[in-house]
Amino acid sequence: MGSRSEREYSEKINEIRRKLNKRTRKIRESFGKIEKMKVDALRKAEEIKRSGERDIQKIERNITKSKDLAPESKKRLSSEIMAIRSQIGQEYTDLKVQISETLVPV
Protein backbone atom coordinates (compact mmCIF):
# COMPACT_ATOMS: atom_id res chain seq x y z
CA MET A 1 0.00 0.00 0.00
CA GLY A 2 1.03 3.57 -0.48
CA SER A 3 2.42 5.92 2.13
CA ARG A 4 0.66 9.03 3.26
CA SER A 5 1.23 12.23 1.40
CA GLU A 6 2.41 15.51 2.87
CA ARG A 7 -1.10 16.86 2.42
CA GLU A 8 -2.61 14.10 4.55
CA TYR A 9 -0.11 14.76 7.32
CA SER A 10 -0.79 18.50 7.10
CA GLU A 11 -4.52 17.85 7.43
CA LYS A 12 -3.91 15.68 10.52
CA ILE A 13 -1.72 18.38 12.04
CA ASN A 14 -4.35 21.05 11.31
CA GLU A 15 -7.03 18.87 12.91
CA ILE A 16 -4.90 18.52 16.04
CA ARG A 17 -4.38 22.31 16.03
CA ARG A 18 -8.17 22.91 15.79
CA LYS A 19 -8.84 20.52 18.66
CA LEU A 20 -6.17 22.19 20.76
CA ASN A 21 -7.56 25.67 20.07
CA LYS A 22 -11.09 24.51 20.91
CA ARG A 23 -9.97 22.98 24.22
CA THR A 24 -7.92 26.06 25.06
CA ARG A 25 -10.96 28.29 24.44
CA LYS A 26 -13.10 26.14 26.72
CA ILE A 27 -10.52 26.27 29.49
CA ARG A 28 -10.24 30.06 29.18
CA GLU A 29 -14.03 30.34 29.33
CA SER A 30 -13.95 28.23 32.51
CA PHE A 31 -11.35 30.54 34.05
CA GLY A 32 -13.53 33.51 33.14
CA LYS A 33 -16.46 31.89 34.95
CA ILE A 34 -14.26 31.18 37.96
CA GLU A 35 -13.07 34.78 38.09
CA LYS A 36 -16.68 35.98 37.89
CA MET A 37 -17.59 33.66 40.76
CA LYS A 38 -14.66 35.00 42.82
CA VAL A 39 -15.77 38.59 42.22
CA ASP A 40 -19.34 37.69 43.20
CA ALA A 41 -18.11 35.92 46.33
CA LEU A 42 -16.00 38.94 47.33
CA ARG A 43 -18.97 41.22 46.76
CA LYS A 44 -21.20 39.00 48.92
CA ALA A 45 -18.58 38.87 51.68
CA GLU A 46 -18.35 42.67 51.65
CA GLU A 47 -22.15 42.89 51.73
CA ILE A 48 -22.32 40.56 54.74
CA LYS A 49 -19.70 42.64 56.55
CA ARG A 50 -21.51 45.93 55.88
CA SER A 51 -24.87 44.46 56.84
CA GLY A 52 -23.50 43.10 60.11
CA GLU A 53 -21.85 46.41 60.96
CA ARG A 54 -25.09 48.30 60.23
CA ASP A 55 -27.07 45.95 62.47
CA ILE A 56 -24.53 46.32 65.26
CA GLN A 57 -24.62 50.11 65.00
CA LYS A 58 -28.42 50.08 65.30
CA ILE A 59 -28.27 47.93 68.42
CA GLU A 60 -25.49 50.08 69.85
CA ARG A 61 -27.56 53.25 69.35
CA ASN A 62 -30.58 51.61 70.97
CA ILE A 63 -28.51 50.48 73.95
CA THR A 64 -27.07 53.98 74.35
CA LYS A 65 -30.56 55.53 74.22
CA SER A 66 -32.10 52.98 76.57
CA LYS A 67 -32.91 54.35 80.00
CA ASP A 68 -34.01 50.97 81.36
CA LEU A 69 -30.61 49.28 81.19
CA ALA A 70 -28.27 49.39 84.15
CA PRO A 71 -24.72 50.67 83.55
CA GLU A 72 -23.37 47.14 84.17
CA SER A 73 -25.71 45.74 81.53
CA LYS A 74 -24.63 48.41 79.06
CA LYS A 75 -21.01 47.52 79.78
CA ARG A 76 -21.61 43.79 79.20
CA LEU A 77 -23.52 44.47 76.00
CA SER A 78 -20.79 46.81 74.82
CA SER A 79 -18.27 44.04 75.43
CA GLU A 80 -20.40 41.60 73.41
CA ILE A 81 -20.67 44.16 70.61
CA MET A 82 -16.89 44.52 70.50
CA ALA A 83 -16.57 40.73 70.34
CA ILE A 84 -19.07 40.41 67.48
CA ARG A 85 -17.38 43.26 65.60
CA SER A 86 -14.09 41.44 65.93
CA GLN A 87 -15.71 38.19 64.77
CA ILE A 88 -17.24 39.90 61.73
CA GLY A 89 -13.88 41.41 60.82
CA GLN A 90 -12.08 38.10 61.27
CA GLU A 91 -14.61 36.13 59.23
CA TYR A 92 -14.53 38.75 56.47
CA THR A 93 -10.74 38.56 56.36
CA ASP A 94 -10.83 34.75 56.35
CA LEU A 95 -13.33 34.74 53.48
CA LYS A 96 -11.26 37.21 51.45
CA VAL A 97 -8.14 35.11 51.94
CA GLN A 98 -9.95 31.90 51.02
CA ILE A 99 -11.46 33.48 47.90
CA SER A 100 -8.19 35.04 46.79
CA GLU A 101 -6.27 31.77 47.33
CA THR A 102 -8.72 29.83 45.17
CA LEU A 103 -6.86 28.29 42.23
CA VAL A 104 -3.53 29.79 43.22
CA PRO A 105 -0.87 27.14 42.62
CA VAL A 106 1.09 26.08 45.67
Which pLDDT tens digit goes with each residue over 65-100? 988 999 999 999 999 999 999 999 999 999 999 988
Per-residue pLDDT at 105: 57
Alpha-carbon gap, residue 12 to 14, rounded angstroms: 5
Alpha-carbon gap, residue 58 to 47, rounded angstroms: 17
Across residues 52-67, what is the average pLDDT? 94
Reduce the DSSP state of residue 34 to 3 states and report it.
helix
pTM of the predicted structure, to 2 decimals: 0.70
Q: What is the number of structural domains in the chain? A: 1
Per-residue pLDDT at 101: 83
**Residue 66 forms part of a structural domain:** yes
**Residue 106 forms part of a structural domain:** no
Which range of residues forms the domain containing residue 83?
Answer: 6-101
pLDDT at 8 over 80: yes
**Residue 30 forms part of a structural domain:** yes
Nearest CA among 40, 31, 18 for reference residue 104: 31
Per-residue pLDDT at 56: 96
